[in-house]
Chains A and B, each alone.
Chain A
């Protein structure tokens, strides 16, 4: 893309002329094209004054209350300075979106691919590499956790979010490899964190094995089967290390 084409795309994007498809393609490109991102910033700065001409309108007094409620419970403080900041908003979005859950299939996203590649890269550096990796996606297709299964059967869950169960609820981790047997509980958490899953006595994990996290009553599902909404899920894929 030449400098002129880049500038044209940036200007039409900022002006709001692109249709939904063009906008999506432009945003994908923005993530990897620093030159385009710079042009977009310049156009935003050029046109910003137009927004300033809009007559201010007093927002609905209830609006702030609604925004605050949507932020969800106050998140716990990060446990170590190296952790990424707690993201209560994402929790809020999740809880909010539960009601909107419509059972859409979870399509692979670019983020997923990047994350999986990143995971593989890290895995290669580790002394012991996982033989299977599952990226668990939220209903919004955001990577929310990674499950690594190792050759010796050991399976770990790595949290990518600060999701915390509300009062009176728990997060339960399940795996499904056989529809006859049904999902089996392999972990119970109050909040997402890195944890070794309880897979003793289970068959060695296999490709396409499902991992998911559901919201359950405190202490776990009373029936031994998932009863609450699925917060995230993903299927295991073999790594290049092989099973």
Chain B
């Protein structure tokens, strides 16, 4: 099954946290260690969001420069190194999605069959560990709403884009998402 980056692997987290502290001290070996560990998964996530290899590579490139710059602001007390690094990746990718080149990307989206997106979303749930709380809680949502949450995260869609994709008014899409997120939070707390 899928290798989870986020399993309770304390030793791996410590290693990454140490690599980040190395970056903060200006040690490139630290950044290289992070790159070796995280770049393949990051490229996969960026590709899933942007659906273009050149953009995904660019986002990973910029992400590592940002990690290097911001390494001294990483605080192990506030979260895991992977969570911190992937947040930077996702924000960088979202900036590309929300940026100037966006029209091209939207055109790309239109070429995607809704059926394949549906399958993607279900595959994604299946890829989660059987024991995962997230999977158990996602299973509580109606399929259409679960798909909305997953598409939003996987593709970085806005409320408006989701409404278009789901064929419902904007207000309805927002309300669905809001209630689904509430269910998730209650289920996972």
Which residues of A approach B to under 8 Å, CB–CB? 7-8, 11-12, 14-20, 23, 37, 41, 44-60, 63-64, 66-68, 70-71, 74-75, 77, 84-90, 92-93
Contacts and interface: CB of A to CB of B under 8 A. Distances in A.
Task: Provide the main secondary structure of the chain A interface.
Answer: helix
Contacts of B60: 59, 63
Given A48-B86, A86-B26, A53 B2 contact: yes
Contacts of B153: 15-16, 47, 50
Contact of A64 (B35, B149, B158): B35
Interface residues of B, number: 64
Nearest to B138: A50
B162 A17 contact: yes
Contact of A52 (B2, B25, B32, B35): B2
Given A16-B157, A52-B2, A57 B40 contact: yes
B124 A53 contact: yes
A230 B41 CA distance: 38
A64 B64 CA distance: 9
A8 B128 contact: no
B158 A70 contact: no
Given A54-B47, A88-B26, A92-B65, 19 more contacts: A7-B185, A12-B181, A15-B181, A16-B94, A17-B158, A41-B83, A45-B79, A48-B6, A50-B150, A52-B3, A52-B4, A55-B44, A57-B44, A59-B57, A67-B35, A71-B68, A87-B26, A87-B69, A89-B68
Interface string B79-120: 110110011001000100011000000000000000000000
The residue among B31, B68, B87 with the most chain A CB atoms within 10 A of its own CB is B68
Interface of B: 2-6, 24-26, 28, 31-32, 35, 39-41, 43-45, 47-48, 56-57, 60-61, 64-65, 68-69, 72, 78-80, 82-83, 86-87, 90, 94, 98-99, 124, 127-129, 132, 134-135, 149-150, 152-154, 156-160, 162, 177-178, 181, 184-185, 188
B35 A57 contact: no
Given A15-B181, A46-B188, A60-B57, A51 B5 contact: yes
Given A8-B178, A15-B152, A56-B43, A46 B184 contact: yes
Nearest to B2: A53
B45 A51 contact: yes
Given A54-B41, A67-B65, A71-B65, A15 B149 contact: yes
Contacts of A86: 26
Nearest to B72: A85
Nearest to B184: A46
Contacts of A67: 31, 35, 61, 64-65
B177 A17 contact: yes
Contact of B134 (A18, A50, A85): A50
B79 A56 contact: no
A51 B90 CA distance: 10
A46 B3 contact: no
Given A11-B181, A67-B61, A58 B157 contact: no
A53 B90 CA distance: 14
Nearest to A37: B78
A189 B95 CA distance: 36
Contacts of A50: 124, 128, 134, 150, 153-154
A189 to B, nearest CB: 20
Contacts of B78: 37, 41
Closest 7 pairs (CB-CB, A-B): A54-B44, A56-B40, A53-B127, A57-B43, A89-B69, A16-B156, A89-B68
B39 to A, nearest CB: 5
Contacts of B150: 50
Contacts of A60: 57
Contacts of A44: 79, 83, 86-87
